[in-house]
Amino acid sequence: MKHNLYPEFKNLFNKEVGNAWFSPGRVNLIGEHIDYNGGLVMPCAITFGTYVVAALNNDNVFRFRSLNFDDKLDIPLQPEYKKTGESWFNYPLGIIEYFLKDGHQLQGLDLLYYGDIPISSGLSSSASIEVVTAYALNELFNCGYSKLELVKLAKEVENVFIGVNCGIMDQFAVAFGEKDKALMLNCDTLDYKAVDTNLAEYVLAIINTNKPRKLAESKYNERVQECQAALKALQQELDIQNLCDIDTATFKRHEHLITDAVVLKRATHVIEENDRVKLAAEALAGGDLAEFGKLMYASHDSLKNLYEVSGKELDAVVEYSKTNPNVAGARMTGAGFGGCAIALVKENAFDKFSEEVTAYYIAKVGYAPSVYSSLIGDGVGLLKTNITVE
């Protein structure tokens, strides 16, 4: 169904509006579960994302509406907000709370959201709605935050207001993403470089397992704690602040300090994955997509066996990919426990890939995945024109 956002806004709020903002979602090419360990990651913004149309009101009320969800909220401007239930509007409410906490004077707002990122697909719909709201508020109220400050604020909202101890990758990627580029981001220093994603004869496929990530939040926080335990053990001998401060060779010399077998597996994944990102960056720069693909498979195997965040759905996509000579590599992307996988597929073999992976997946899992050919797009921004979305 096509939506024209400005007329929809007028129907809902009975007034004209002139401004809309967009923030994309993201995929991560490689470097998984290492952003909160000070590692290197390689995300790209995608062309799916979240739109918000917003206008000030004089009623001192925040009115949240969405074209995706029936639940809505009207809440008066007040000194403090808390998360209530699991509804989507907690994300923008959390952003408002953090603007108020920072001492900004706000006024009532009418907000209409629309998103085309499949929900719970691991493509960062939450970072997308957080960042688009923060960006819009910053412009509407002239708060003077830099983009990096907005990214940090949005991450804080996710960590404290929402309660997921995520790293900074998603908020950073959806804010700073650039068309046809991947961001080589150092999550410790926040230095980054936008590098060309020259995929030659390949395209990036996104395969949504359509499995909702039910346990994702609790398991995610558990992994963060396991990494903290590993770091603490290594700090008995090493002067490090993050697991990714050391490479695999150094880790091997000190791994005996970690006595818990599960924690050891988690740390091994993190440190080896960080080394893989460095190799992947070289492979991409040198146009060696075969090597890049091998590193993707290695990353997936490690996330499956050592980090234990995959599952039969994501594994089915990767298993099939390994049998197809037109696929250079595939892996789960994002937090895992369902969500999406990505694959580097030869462009002229994409349709066949899509059919075959779907058939394989249905046979293994019992229902169909969704397969997209992804375009790498720009990060958050103001949209000047009227917006028609599907």
Cβ distance to ligand GLA smaller for residue 49 or 53: 49
Cβ distance to ligand GLA smaller for residue 32 or 110: 32
Pairing between strand 73-76 and 327-333? unpaired
The structure tokens listed for 210 are: 């359509």
Cβ distance to ligand GLA smaller for residue 143 or 157: 157
Shortest Å distance, C-beta 109 to ligand GLA: 26
Shortest Å distance, C-beta 204 to ligand GLA: 17
Among 33, 181, 266, 346, binds ligand GLA (CB under 6 A): 33
Pairing between strand 327-333 and 381-383? unpaired
Alpha helices (H) along the chain: 5-13, 90-101, 125-140, 147-156, 169-176, 216-234, 248-254, 261-285, 289-305, 312-323, 350-365
- Give CA–CA dist 162/186, Å, rounded: 25
Shortest Å distance, C-beta 42 to ligand GLA: 11
Q: How far is CA 257 from CA 191, 194, 235, 245, 317, in A?
A: 31, 37, 9, 16, 36
Q: Does 226 bind ligand GLA (CB under 6 A)?
A: no
Q: Are 354 and 326 in contact (CB under 8 A)?
A: no
- Give CA–CA dist 269/30, Å, rounded: 13
Q: Are 195 and 184 in contact (CB under 8 A)?
A: yes
The alpha-carbon radius of gyration of the chain (Å, integer) is: 21
Residue of 35, 110, 170, 315 marked active site: 170
Shortest Å distance, C-beta 170 to ligand GLA: 4
Among 24, 38, 118, 167, binds ligand GLA (CB under 6 A): 167
Among 130, 170, 273, 315, binds ligand GLA (CB under 6 A): 170
The structure tokens listed for 122 are: 């691991």
What residues from 11 to 30 belong to the interface with ligand GLA (CB under 6 A)?
Answer: 28
Q: Does 36 bind ligand GLA (CB under 6 A)?
A: yes
Which residue in the shown chain puts its C-beta closest to ligand GLA?
A: 166
Render 192-229 in DSSP notation, one character per residue: EEEEE---TTEEEEEEE-----TTHHHHHHHHHHHHHH
Per-residue binder mask for ligand GLA (CB under 6 A), 273-312, x = binder? ----------------------------------------
Pairing between strand 109-115 and 61-66? parallel
Cβ distance to ligand GLA smaller for residue 53 or 270: 270
Render 45-79 in DSSP notation, one character per residue: EEEEEEEEEEEE-SSSEEEEEESS-S--EEEE--S
Cβ distance to ligand GLA smaller for residue 156 or 170: 170
- Annotated active-site residue 102? The verdict is no
Per-residue binder mask for ligand GLA (CB under 6 A), 318-337, x = binder? ----------------xx--
What residues from 56 to 115 belong to the interface with ligand GLA (CB under 6 A)?
Answer: none
Shortest Å distance, C-beta 296 to ligand GLA: 14
Place of tokens 């963060």: 224
Cβ distance to ligand GLA smaller for residue 98 or 360: 98
Q: Which residues bind ligand GLA (CB under 6 A)?
A: 28, 32-33, 35-36, 166-167, 169-170, 334-335
Query: Which residues are annotated as catalytic?
Result: 170
